[in-house]
Amino acid sequence: MRNLAILTIDTPSLGDRSYVVHDGEVAFVVDPQRDIDRVLDLFEKHGVRLTDVFETHIHNDYVTGGLALAERTGATYRVNADDQVSFDRTPVRDGETIEVGPRMRLTALSTPGHTFTHLSYALTDATTGEQLAVFSGGSLLYGATGRPDLLGEEHTHALVRHQHASAHKLAELLPDEAEVFPTHGFGSFCAATQSDATESTIGQEKQSNPALTQDEETYVRELLDGLGAFPAYYAHMGPANAAGPSEPDLSVPTEADAGELRRRIEAGEWVVDLRNRTAFAAGHAPGTLNFGLDGAFATYLGWLITWGTPVTLLGETAEDVAEAQRELVRIGIDRPAAHATGGPEDWSDRDLASFPTGTFADLEQVRRHRPVVVLDVRRADEHDKARIKGAVNIPIHELPNRVEEVPEGELWVHCASGYRASVAASILDAAGGRKLVAIDDSFANAEKVGLHLVGPEA
C-alpha cells in the first residue's frame, strides 16, 4: 500500500469511521459523515482532488454527507442501484469495478446482512494487481459483524444468515493480508457486539471473528441472543439518507438570555447543559438537562428526545456549543433553537438547582442506616447480567416516559460509569419533587465495597 494513503476520519461519539483514500493526486471517500468540512480539509492538506464518493449502505446511525460532498466537489456519488433513493446518483452493482485514477481500482461486492442492499468495496492496486483492502461498512467488523435487526424484526432472521454468508464471501475472495476497514464497530450500536481492536486483516478475522469461526447456527443463535436495545433516533436516519441530506448549517445559533431560557423550559423544550456531570450536579439552571460533551452526547440525546422537540444548547464556551452542534447535525438535529454561553448564573433568573453525587461505597454505608431506592438506568441486558439486589431497573432511554413509575423515597441513581446516571438525575430533577443522589462511580466497584449483587455475572 506504499503508493496509496488510507486516511481515517474517526467519529468516536457515534462509534463510526469514514475513509479518504488517495494516490497523491486523486481521492475517493467511503461513508462520509454529515459534517463534510472535515473531509474537505483533508483534500486541501494533502493536495488531492476528489473524484468518487462511495456509500456501503443506507446508514441507520447517522446522516450521510455523501450527497452534499459530491455536490460541493463535483465528484461522482456511487450508491447501490437497488437502494430506493430520491436523488440522482451513479448506481453501483455487485461485481462492478470502478477505476479511480491510474492506481486505484474498487470492486463492489454484495454483502447483505446489515441491510439487504449492503455493498463492500475491495481495493486493488491497479499498477500491481495486489488486493490491498476491503471497505466493509456494516458487514465484516473487527471481531464482530453489523447487527441485522435495524430494518425491523420481520427481517432480522433473514439478514443474520445473510450476514454470516457475506463474511465468508469476503474471507474467500480476499487474501489474508488484505486490510479490513469497517465503518461501524468502535462503540456504534450498529455493531452486533463490541471489540477493542483498531485495525485488522482478513487473516486475523478468520482467526477471531465469530462469523468466520462459528458454524452458521451457532453464530445466528449467539448473535441474536446478545442483541440489546438501539437508539430510537435510528428510525429517522434511513429515511433522511434515502431523501438525500443537504450540507449542514453550522453557523452560530440565536443567543438566548435567562428569561428566554426559562420560557423555553416552561414550553416543554429541551435546554441542554453541556458541562460535565460534576459541574452540573453542583449547580444548574432549574429544568435544564445534562448531556455532557465528555460522553456519548449525541447518541443519548437523540435516543431520549421526542423527535422534533426544539433544543437549546448551554456551553461554557462558544467552542462547546459548536462541538455539540456538529454532533447533532450528524444525527439529523439540524439547527439548535438557541444557545447561551457562560455558566449557570448566566442561564437562570432564579436560584440554581443542585443535587449531591456519591459513590457505591457511599450507597453501601447509607443503606446500613436508612432505606433508599436504588434506580439502575442501564439497559435491561446489562441489568440482567449483574445488578444490586433490590434495584429498580428503568433503562435510561425509557425514563422520560416512565418518570411516574420511579418509586417514592430517597433515590440513588446509577449506571455503569456515571454518565447515564447524571442524564437520568437531570431528568428527575427537572421533573421535581425528588430527593436524589447521582452515583458517579464505576459499577465494577459495587461488589468490591460490599453491595450484594445478583445475576449470572455477579
pLDDT at 17 over 50: yes
Alpha-carbon separation of residue 205 from 109, 122, 141, 371 (angstroms): 18, 16, 9, 50
Say how far apart CA 152 and CA 106 lie, in whole Å: 31
pLDDT averaged over every residue in the chain: 97
Say how far apart CA 16 and CA 183 lie, in whole Å: 5
For 77, residues 6+ apart whose C-beta sits below 8 A from its C-beta are 53, 55, 66, 67, 70, 88, 89, 90
Grid cell in block for residue 369: 442506616
**Does the model's pTM come out above 0.85?**
yes
Residue 253's pLDDT is what? 97
258-347 is classed CATH 3.40.1410.10: no
CA angle 278, 280, 282 (to 5 degrees): 70
- Mean pLDDT of the region 167-173: 98
Domain positions in the chain: 5-243, 258-347, 357-454
pLDDT tens by residue, 35-87: 999 999 999 999 999 999 999 999 999 999 999 999 999 999 999 999 999 99
pLDDT at 1 over 50: no
- Mean pLDDT of the region 296-312: 97
pLDDT at 165 over 50: yes
Residue owning grid cell 450527497: 67
The Cα diameter of the chain in Å comes to 75
- Hey, do 5-243 and 357-454 end up sharing a CATH topology, with the first three levels equal? no
pLDDT at 373 over 90: yes
- Mean pLDDT of the region 118-137: 97
Say how far apart CA 127 and CA 211 lie, in whole Å: 33
Say how far apart CA 272 and CA 193 lie, in whole Å: 30
Question: Class for domain 357-454, per CATH?
Answer: alpha beta
pLDDT tens by residue, 213-270: 999 999 999 999 999 999 999 999 999 999 999 999 999 999 999 999 999 999 999 9
pLDDT at 2 over 60: no
Regarding the domain delimited by 5-243, which CATH topology (the fold level of the hierarchy) does it fall under?
Metallo-beta-lactamase; Chain A (3.60.15)
- C-alpha Rg value of the chain to the nearest Å: 24
pLDDT tens by residue, 313-329: 999 999 999 999 999 99
Higher pLDDT, 196 or 363: 363
